[in-house]
Amino acid sequence: GRHGGQLGELGFVYQGLEFNQDAFHIFLGLCAVDTPEHVEIIFRHLKQHNIQTARMGAYKPRTSPYDFQGHGKACLPWLFELAGKYDIKIIAMEVLRPEHIDEIHEALQETGNPTGVMLQIGTRNAQNFELLKAVGSQSTYPILYKRGMGLTLEESLNACEYIASEGNRNIVFCLRGVKSMLGLPHRNLIDFGHVPVVKRLTRLPVCVDPTHSVGLKDRAPDGIYDIFHAAAQGVISGANMLLVEFHPRPEQALCDGPQALTMNELDHFLADMQLVRKCY
Ligand code: PEP
Ligand code: MN
């Protein structure tokens, strides 16, 4: 890659799944793990669709300290148990501190299921250099790095260098929208034009997160969700991965309910993504 650092690997294989600039994976699921029932509903739907990847947040970085902070390590044993039951191979999950890597690692070992994880660095930690160094040096898990919401692309690519330079080059670069003062209908300005740029400057697979870009599941006049459009836009731009929030009962969600798609919308969503991938 032209970025000039160590972001120049030709992708990687993890849990038998390929991640590179041609591959495509959908990681969908709960913003925050709440109940075993909700996790199981999601996993069952994924299994029906032969999808072996999911997103499930245990540690949540919340804007307010009074909001639900995630079940943390308490939910990991039953989460990984259920993942094994439904053949989920990789769960994308955010870590906020280096100790979370160990907690996840221990829970995986204790569960004994062949489930793996992709460690997410959230936008709020996009320049937390000590955490970046920790996931770079202490982790054999792939890293899903989310672009900083107020960072230049260059600053975020340098943050990935912090991970790579410590030895872990299995990185996926995720665009999730950036802050803007322009009073947009969406929570974050959609930066999907950067998908091909990142692919050109590095060899990293690129992920798009339509959920946190749009931020609200408002219906457009034609009845199609903005989140559907943003996801399709990501695919058209060449994304190698989508990270999307779903909840079986968004009104009961402990985090980000208003932006979650429901299981009734899953078939439509997957069919749409398949269609755009065939067209472009
Ligand atoms: C999330 O994926 O739930 C999340 C908090 O994302 P971001 O860091 O992009 O806000
Ligand atoms: Mn969320």
Question: pLDDT for 167-182, tens place per residue?
Answer: 999 999 999 999 988 8
Tell me what the pLDDT averaged over the chain comes to.
Answer: 95
pLDDT digits (tens, 9 = 90+) for 30-67: 999 999 999 999 999 999 999 999 999 999 999 999 99
Q: Is 55 in the pocket of ligand 1 (CB under 6 A)?
A: no
Model pLDDT, residue 22: 96
Q: Is residue 28 scored above 90 in pLDDT?
A: yes
**Residue 1: its pLDDT value, please?**
52
Q: Is the CB of 57 under 6 A from ligand 1?
A: yes
- Please indicate whether residue 142, judged by its CB atom, sits closer than 6 Å to ligand 1: no
CB–CB of 28/244 below 8 Å? yes
At 124, list the tokens: 């709020």
ipTM over 0.95: yes
Q: How confident is the model at residue 235 (pLDDT cuts 50, 70, 90)?
A: very high
Q: Does residue 266 register a pLDDT over 90?
A: yes
Radius of gyration of the chain (CA): 17
Instruction: Identify the residue whose C-alpha is closest to ligand 1 atom 4.
Output: 122
Q: Which atom of ligand 1 is nearest to the CA of 57?
A: 3
Alpha-carbon torsion (13, 41, 257, 182), positive or negative:
positive
Task: Indicate which atom in ligand 1 lies nearest the CA of residue 256.
Answer: 3
Phi, psi of 198 (to 5 degrees): -65, -40
Query: 80-109 as b/e, with b when 16 or more CB fall inside 10 Å?
Result: bbbbbebebbbbbbbbbeeebbebbbebbe
Least confident of 1-5, 9-13, 53-57: 1-5
> Could you tell me if 22 and 241 are in contact, meaning their C-beta atoms sit under 8 angstroms apart?
no
Q: Which residue has the higher pLDDT, 280 or 277?
A: 277
How far is ligand 2, taken at its centre, from the CA of residue 256, in Å?
5
Helix (H, G, I), strand (E, B) or coil at 254: coil
* pTM of the predicted protein model: 0.96
In the chain, the domains with their CATH numbers are 23-279 (3.20.20.70)
Span 106-117, pLDDT tens digits: 999 999 999 999
User: 122 CB under 6 A from ligand 1?
Assistant: yes
For residue 2, pLDDT beyond 70: no
Contacts of 195 (CB under 8 A, 6+ apart): 175, 206, 208, 234, 237, 238, 239
Ramachandran assignment for 70, one of left (phi > 0), alpha (psi -120 to 50 degrees), beta (any other): left
Atom of ligand 1 nearest to the CA of 176: 9
Q: Cα separation of 280 and 260, whole Å?
A: 26
What are the pLDDT digits (tens) for 70-108?
Answer: 999 999 999 999 999 999 999 999 999 999 999 999 999
